[in-house]
Structure 1
Amino acid sequence: MLNQSGQANRQSSAAQKANAEYLTFRLGAEEYGIDILRVQEIRSYEEPTRIANAPSFIKGVVNLRGVIVPVVDLRLKLGCATAEYNGFTVVIVLNVHGRVVGAVVDSVSDVIELGGEQIRPAPEMNTTVDTTFITGIASVAERMLILMDIEALMSSADMGLIDASQQLQ
């Protein structure tokens, strides 16, 4: 028989090892992963309608079955050296705080399941680089996968996509 503290210890270690699924995608040479539950669909890239005075990483808007969706080029937002549009370029349609947002990436790799033991904390860096949206680094075979909190990234103030009242929901 286990005492109550023994049960609690086993439950907490089981919770730490709980698996989560991530959609993996490429931005330049790096591979990233986001929570699959935030992904609504994956679409081929189509040129969005430009919005005047929008930051360069906001490519514009597209009409997705009657819903006007802002499209963010994550390559530009995260400072990739180049952002070429080719046959592999896709838009990941996300649901962030109840709002639909598109994210342009170089290509989508696959959906993988990661256990807590595969994820390491993101390194702390004393630079001007904003790493608050990076939740961890995972090792998958010989690949390093940067896990990101896509909700935090898309709802950051500089994006201007989600207002403060929607973030509190």
Structure 2
Amino acid sequence: MGEELKVIVFKLGSEEYGIEVEKVQTIERLMPITRVPKTYAFVKGVVNLRGVVIPVIDLRGRFGLQEAEHTDQTRIIIVAVNEMQVGFIVDSASDVIDLNSDSIDTPPEVVGGVKAKYLRGVAKIGEERLLVMLNLSEVLNKSEIIQLEGLED
């Protein structure tokens, strides 16, 4: 029997994605983002969250999806990746669910336009719902993390 995971569910377009709760520090409403020159296009800039400067990434841009208008539902999910805080802009963050690790299958090569290397797997929830689990260490590769760490100074 696999282990139970608590997962935060968020949306990009019509696809649902999940990140393990223990990797998520907070979920915030959209706030002013300060642009930073000479960064990757998907790096939207930095935010000051309770005195901490955190780089913010548009996950749609990271995955090569078409950017969307921000709405009242748009959220920034603050996660810890390799001892660094990073904010992900998502279309909405809906709920927290319990998931058995046995229900996570290896991802196909591409899911909803997102390359498999960014994905940990696809979880089946009930009969019709699929949840794409992110592989956070790949969403930000080492060279990008080094560049983002420079933004925190």
Instruction: Please say whether Structure 1 and Structure 2 have the same fold, judged by a TM-score greater than 0.5.
Output: yes
Give the partner amino acid of 1:38.
K
Residue type matched to 2:138 in 1?
A
1:143 aligns with 2:93: no
Deviation at 1:47, TM superposition (A): 2.6
Q: How many residues in Structure 1 have an aligned counterpart in Structure 2? A: 145
Residue pairs, 1:1-169, within 5 angstroms: 14=1, 17-124=2-109, 130-141=115-126, 142-158=128-144, 160-161=147-148
Structure 1's consecutive aligned runs of 4 or more residues displaced over 6 angstroms after TM superposition are none
Query: Which structure has the larger Rg?
Result: 1
SS of the residue corresponding to residue 161 of structure 1 reads helix
Structure 1 or 2: larger strand share? 2
SS across alignment from 2:60: helix
Whole-Å Cα distance in 1 between the matches of residues 27 and 70 of structure 2?
Answer: 16
Counterpart amino acid of 2:77? Answer: I
Percent identical: 37
Distance 1:86 1:156 in 2: 31
Aligned CA RMSD, in angstroms, stands at 1.9
Equivalent position SS for 2:86: strand
Structure 1-normalised TM-score? 0.78
Instruction: State the Cα distance separating 1:79 from its structure 2 match.
Output: 1.8
> Which sections of structure 1, spanning at least 5 residues, go unmatched?
1-13, 164-169
Are the structure 2 counterparts of residues 101 and 41 from structure 1 closer, same or farther at C-alpha, using a change threshold of 3 Å? same
Shift of 1:30: 0.8
